[in-house]
Structure 1
Amino acid sequence: MFRSYLRLLLFTCGLLAGIQVPGLVKDYGQRVEARVLESREALSGFQETAQRFFKGDLQALLQHYRTSEDPVFISDANSIESLLVRNQLLENEWQAMQGSWLSQSWHVLAQADPQLREETLNSYSYQILLVPEAIGWGLSAGFVLAFVVESVLVLLGWVILGGRRKVVKESWR
């Protein structure tokens, strides 16, 4: 009886944890989208200057700033370069979040930008989404958690008892 309750408890914990994955993925995607838009806006002035004088080539504008003898331009070159690097990172993250929900989930869980993922986790509020992805994640996580923990406990019991099982005499009543 205890084993059945333990199995049910483990399944429920896994279900509730798995249901959180789509909400976390959605929050991460929204964070990435907001940051990409912000990054594009920050570069828009430099992009216009590059369009006017360097046929839209931001790298040529950056090189022009770097070769200038004016220390203000040289300092601004570092700022532009950091904006370009950050924009490229965010654009890559945004592209990764345009795939299927499974690829998005994998990206957030295994390949996401650590800083963005940490910010998302820190501001994440638990939620129960009743969408097919959440139900799938919840049922899968619940089953896997219950199966793995029960298997480990049964294996430990088998090792401790030396492969022997207690024989329980059943009453014919």
Structure 2
Amino acid sequence: MLMSYLRLALFALGLLVGVQIPGFMADYSKRVDAHLTESTQSIQGFRATASRFFGGDLNKLIAYYRESKDPVMRNDAQSVSTLVSRAGLLEAEAKAMQGPWYAQAWHLLTRADPALLNETYAAYRYQVLLAPEAIAWGIACALLLAWLIEGLLRAIGWLFGFRGDSRMRQRHW
């Protein structure tokens, strides 16, 4: 009897944890999209300059900044390079999160950006209005209620002479 309830409780716990996975994947995807939008806006002016003078090649613009005699431009070359590489990373992440659900899950498990993953995890809120405390209380209450009801039913059955056969007891253990 107790083993059956424990199996049910573990199943319920697995179910409750499992329903969080799609919500986490959606939150990660939204976070990537938000960062990508911000990153795209940050380099918009540099893209316009690259389009005007370097045929749209941001790497040529960065190289020009690095080779400049102006120390301010040389210093800014690293900043622009960082912005461009960040935009590339975010574009790749966004593309990976637009695939099928199993590809998204595999990407999150194996190749997701650690900083974005940690940021998503830190801000993640349970999607089905569940919290770890609620899960623990729910499982504890479910086990207690099931145990009390089965105990009550067995006691009533015992009072009326129904003791059950040994095959039934073996099946439940």
TM-score for the superposition, normalised by structure 1: 0.73
1:10 has 2:10 as partner? yes
Query: Cα RMSD over matched residues?
Result: 1.7
Q: Which one has the largest radius of gyration?
A: 2
Q: After superposition, what is the alpha-carbon deviation per residue over 1:69-114, rounded to whole angstroms, capped at 9, x for unaligned?
A: 1100001100001001111110110010110112112212332111
- One-letter code of the match for 2:90? L
Q: In the aligned structure 2, how far is the partner of 1:127 from the partner of 1:72?
A: 48
How many residues were matched structurally? 132
Residue 39 of structure 1, CA deviation: 0.7
- One-letter code of the match for 1:19? V
1:113 has 2:113 as partner? yes
Residue 118 of structure 1, CA deviation: 0.5
Unaligned runs of 5+ in 2: 130-165, 168-173
Match of 2:89 in 1: 89
Match of 2:44 in 1: 44
1:104 has 2:93 as partner? no
Match of 2:80 in 1: 80
Q: In the aligned structure 2, how far is the partner of 1:42 from the partner of 1:9?
A: 50
Match of 2:56 in 1: 56
Q: In the aligned structure 1, how far is the partner of 2:24 from the partner of 2:110?
A: 13
Q: In the aligned structure 2, how far is the partner of 1:123 from the partner of 1:99?
A: 23
Percent identity between the two aligned chains: 51
Report which structure shows greater RCO (CA 8 Å, sep ≥6): 1
Residue 127 of structure 1, CA deviation: 1.4
Q: After superposition, what is the alpha-carbon deviation per residue over 1:22-51, rounded to whole angstroms, capped at 9, x for unaligned?
A: 000000000000111111111110000011
Q: Which runs of 4+ in 1 moved over 4 A?
A: none
- One-letter code of the match for 2:73? F
